[in-house]
Structure 1
Amino acid sequence: MKLGKRAVILGGSMAGLSAAGAVAPYVDEVIILERDELPAEAQHRRGVPQSKHPHFLLNSGRRAINALFPGYEDDLIAAGGMPLTASMDTAYLEGPGWAPRKQGALTMVYGSRLLIERVLRDRVRALPGVVFREGVTVTGIETKDGRVVGVRFAGASGEERLEADLVVDALGRGSSVSDWLVAAGGAEPPVKTLDAKVTYVSRWYDIPDPKTRSASWWWQHMVLMPSQEKDDHPDEHDYLVNFFPIEGNRSIACFGSWGLPMPKTTEEFEASADRLRTPQFKAAMTASEPTSEVHLTRSTGNKWRRYDRLPKAPLGVVFVGDSICAFNPFYGQGMSSAAISARLLRERLDAASALDERFFADFLKRQAKEFQVPWGMAMARDRGYECATGTEVAPAWVRRILAAMTWPMFNLITGAAREDAVIDEHFARVFNMDESIVAMMLNPRVLFGFARYKLRAWFRRERIPYGFDGQAEPPGTNWTPGLAS
């Protein structure tokens, strides 16, 4: 059923594209306003500077996009996306050393942000009634009787106005829509913030052809977890490090840290690689051909505009992506959360008989519930850092508890997941935002698995070895029970 004549989407990135797919069946026309000129191919553009860093489209996000655009995942793979199993295709350096290679429950489709967005943009362009207006800047909203009824934007021909039955704010972290609503007489939403001073740097590489690599380069993805040691060591040992595979036989070398200085030049980047926890990462870089400069990002704070807590929901406008809830990008939750919001928008539009006050309040309430899992995951990690600032900063005693518990709990989960398929499945669900960490930790079967694993570890009766020498090459043995070879 049609609910209006026109919807206007503010922003043509992943959140806006997903939202366009959500609203298109319910209006006669969808207009996407985008500041950049959108490339036909998978290319960087000014409005998405984070495209230069690794991106995860989690299983929950892929399912949401597939619900809006059936066949999207097939299109992504056909365009070069790589379906991989993390525990089989990743050389993973944890606390004691390299983790064992084995089959597991965590699967993902790897690819660059450029590819993920370009494939989705192609699908949106094919939708009937969808029009892109590129090279324009949104300058304000139009309201009437407390309801958003249109937008203003400026382009080459000057300022224009568009009437709209529904406006979707997908302008990202820097969206001014909240300020415009307040200026029009609306209430200012409470805002939750937490910035753990995360910085990350990336450089792109062409990697050797698989046919010419050594047998020890069996892996597609290499991950170095931060050190758990308390002794003196280089800052680089506290980095979270990825050699992240993308389409076209390329990888992105990425270093991230919480509150530490980071390399800014190619020379500093190379020097930092020499000081990482294993020489194997630098060896992979050296065997590859760099194709970019070093890209640095500091805009990584968590920010949740709680429109759902206003006495009255804003009318005529909904919010998706970072414009309402922005996460520390290092946890890979942003694109998937935006897609989940868009899928929810489609569901609520399908159930609605009118775009009335009840619709907007209901959507915000349900959307807030969806944010609880990714927000809780971000808070669980970022609240433990003394450098963190914002409304959600933990008291000192809470930080001490988090600091004392984080690594032992992480080691328990990853260790038990190696031995127990049920825990492995739950951990994959948590990683993919299909289950909260609290729900996992309260599951009786999971608790039993933890206890059984600890008992086995106490008597040194683990079924799968781990902690292989981190200075040596990642071992390629398949330790999957029944398939070890």
Structure 2
Amino acid sequence: MRLGKTAVVLGGSAAGLCAAGALAPHFDHVLVLERDELPAGAGHRRGVPQSKHPHFLLNSGRRAIGALFPGFEDDLIAAGGLLLMPSMDAAYLDGPGWSARKRSAMTMVYGSRILIERVLRDKVRELGNVVVREGASVRGLTTHDGEITGVAFTAAEGDEHVGTDFVVDAMGRGSPVAGWLVAAGWPEPEVRTLDAKVTYTSRWYDLPAERPASWWWRHLVIMPTPDKGDHPAEHEYLVNFFPVEGNRVIACMGSWGLEMPSTTDAFVETARRVRTPLFAAAMDRCEPASPVHLTRSTGNKWRRYDRLRTPPRRLAFVGDSICAFNPFYAQGISSASGSALLLREHLSRAGQLDAGFSARFLAAQRKLLRVPWSLAMARDQGYACAAGTEKLPEWRRRIVAALSAPAFSLVVGAAREDAVVDEHFAKVFNLDESLGQMLRNPRVLTGLLRHRVRTALGRQRVPSGFDPRAEPPSTDYSAAVTR
């Protein structure tokens, strides 16, 4: 059902493109206003600095985007995306050493952010009632009697204004919309924050034409050390050797509260001090394809528009404009596409775009965002360097810091041996289930307890802790997994 003539999306990155897909069935015309000039193919641009770092497309995001744009995943893979099973295709260094390979419930599509957005732009171009205006800088909103009625922007032709029946803010972390609403008479929304001082640095590499025989893996993951004694700072890094399209990888190192290398020489030297020599050795076999890219804007931030007594009518928010996460947890695109799909569902049931619609959508979106937000808090609240409204009292922070890593290792270890734990862990990782739901499941608790007992007795079915300084083992232990 059509709900109006014109809808406007502020921002043309992944969140805005998904929002356009959600609006297209319900409005005669959808206008996407994007400040940048968009590349014809898969290319970096100023408005998406995160594109130079690894991006996971979680299963919940794959499904949401596929519902908005049928055929998206097939098109992404046809364009070079890689459909892999991490438990079989990734060498994973966690705890004291390498994990064993086995089949699992989780698959993922690997690809760069620039490829994901290029395929999304192609899908949007197939929608006959959507127009993307490039080089358009949004300057403000016009309002009347509690609702949004128009958008002011500047383009190459000069200042313009378009009347609208609905607006979606997809302008990212730095969105100025909250300030515009305050200027128009709405109260400042409550903002929840937690910045764990995450910094990460990446460099792109071309893989060798022929992979070495020992490289059974496609993805290399090095988790921070659990060792509490003296060790190099680099052992605290979270490291990825992340495969993308075009026979390339993104070598990425990140940390909580530590300085990270920003030059190519420092990047290469730092890589030699991480927990395993495999990371630097793999880089040595590849050809550098980019300079080093460093990012520090990584804090968690949730603008609580849902708590406004009278939220603006005919306005919705998707992506980082409402809830931004520590990018380490790969939740951004999946949360944004989930919000866009939720918006489409609410529009399909809407009789009119009144205050009731705004309240219902914001309440449903709050429930959706609580899942990734709680996962981000579960880890970031344990760091002494963290700051923000969600910073814990010191005694609680110490408890979180003491329990979070062992608890995570217990779940990962149990998932290696127990298919049911593995299934629910995959759901949590992919934002299909909350951490609380998983930990309230009696069968999951039984699997965790059984794994703890077997570990204490030295009777694990699937070994772990293989020497981190040696090559990761290629043996497939799938047959040892039980239900």
TM-score band w.r.t. shorter chain: over 0.9
Aligned counterpart in structure 1 of residue 354 of structure 2, from 356, 372, 376: 356
Alpha-carbon displacement from aligned partner over 1:53-82 (angstroms, at most 9, x marks no partner): 000110000100111111111111111111
Deviations 1:184-221 (A, max 9, x none): 11121111000000000000000113xx2222111000
1:111 match: 111
Matched, 1:58 2:58: yes
Q: CA deviation at 1:428?
A: 0.3
Q: Secondary structure at the match of 1:244?
A: strand
Q: Which residue of 2 aligns with 1:39?
A: 39
Q: How far apart, in 2, do the equivalents of 1:38 and 1:47 lie? A: 10
Structure 2 residue 138 is the aligned partner of structure 1 residue 147: no
Q: TM-score under structure 2 normalisation?
A: 0.99
Q: What is the one-letter code of the residue matched to 1:288?
A: C
SS in 2 for 1:199: strand
Aligned partner of residue 114 in structure 2, secondary structure: helix
- The 5 Å alignment of 1:181-200 reads 181-200=181-200
Deviations 1:395-437 (A, max 9, x none): 1011110111112111110111111000000000000000111
Judged with a 3 Å threshold, the aligned counterparts in structure 2 of structure 1 residues 398 and 482 are, in CA distance, closer, same or farther, namely: closer
| Aligned-residue RMSD, C-alpha | 0.9
Q: Is the 8 A contact 1:216 1:475 kept in 2?
A: no
Distance 1:324 1:347 in 2: 19
Aligned twin of 1:30: 30
Name the residue aligned to 1:80. 80
Q: Is residue 2:207 matched to residue 1:237? A: no
The within-5 A match list for 1:278-427 is 278-427=276-425
Q: Secondary structure at the match of 2:100?
A: coil
Tell me the TM-score normalised to structure 1 length: 0.98
Contact 2:201–2:253, Cα closer than 8 Å, also in 1: yes
- C-alpha offsets along residues 312-341 of structure 1, whole Å, 9 cap, x if unaligned? 121121100000001011110000000000
Alpha-carbon distance, 1:475 to partner: 1.2
What SS class does the counterpart of residue 98 from structure 1 fall into? strand
Distance in 1 (alpha carbons) for counterparts of 2:405 and 2:190: 33
Please give the alpha-carbon distance, in whole angstroms, between the structure 2 residues aligned to 1:214 and 1:477: 17
Return the alpha-carbon distance in structure 1 between the equivalents of residues 155 and 448 of structure 2: 59
What residue ranges of structure 1 are gaps of 5+ in the alignment? Answer: none
Q: Is the 8 A contact 1:92 1:223 kept in 2?
A: yes
Cα distance in structure 2, aligned partners of 1:428 and 1:482 = 19
Out of 415, 436, 439, the position equivalent to 1:438 is 436
Q: Secondary structure at the match of 1:241?
A: strand
Provide the rounded CA distance (Å) in 2 between the counterparts of 1:259 and 1:480: 38
Contact 2:218 2:243 in 1 (8 A): yes
Residue 65 of structure 1: SS of its match in structure 2? helix
Distance in structure 2 (CA, Å) of the matches to 1:461 and 1:448: 16
Corresponding residue SS for 1:116: helix
Matched residue, 1:49: 49
Once the 2 structures are TM-superposed, how far is the Cα of residue 146 of structure 1 from its aligned partner? 2.0
Alpha-carbon deviation of 1:45? 0.5
- Report the counterpart of residue 269 of structure 2 in structure 1: 271
Give the Cα separation in 1 of the matches to 2:95 and 2:395.
Answer: 25
User: Is contact 2:339-2:365 (8 Å) kept?
Assistant: yes
Post-superposition, which runs of at least 4 consecutive aligned residues in structure 1 deviate over 2 A? none
Residues in 1 aligned to 2:453 and 2:168: alpha-carbon distance in whole angstroms: 53
Report the number of matched residues: 481
> CA–CA distance in 2 between the matches of 1:406 and 1:81?
33
Counterparts of 1:453-472 in structure 2 under 5 Å? 453-472=451-470
C-alpha separation in 2, matches of 1:298 and 1:157: 35
With over 3 angstroms needed to count, the CA separation of the structure-2 counterparts of 1:126 and 1:476, relative to structure 1, is same
Given residue 201 of structure 1, which amino acid in structure 2 is its aligned partner?
Answer: T
Whole-Å separation in 1 of the counterparts to 2:118 and 2:286: 26
Is 1:16 aligned to residue 16 of structure 2? Answer: yes
CA contact (8 A) 2:417 2:480 kept: no
SS of the residue 1:467 aligns to:
strand
Amino acid at match of 1:244: F
Distance in 2 separating the partners of 1:259 and 1:439: 31
Structure 2: stretches of 5+ with no match in the other structure: none
Q: Using the alignment, how far apart are the partners of 2:410 and 2:123 within structure 1? A: 42
- Give me the whole-angstrom Cα distance separating, in 1, the residues matched to 2:466 and 2:296: 34
Shift of 1:482: 6.3
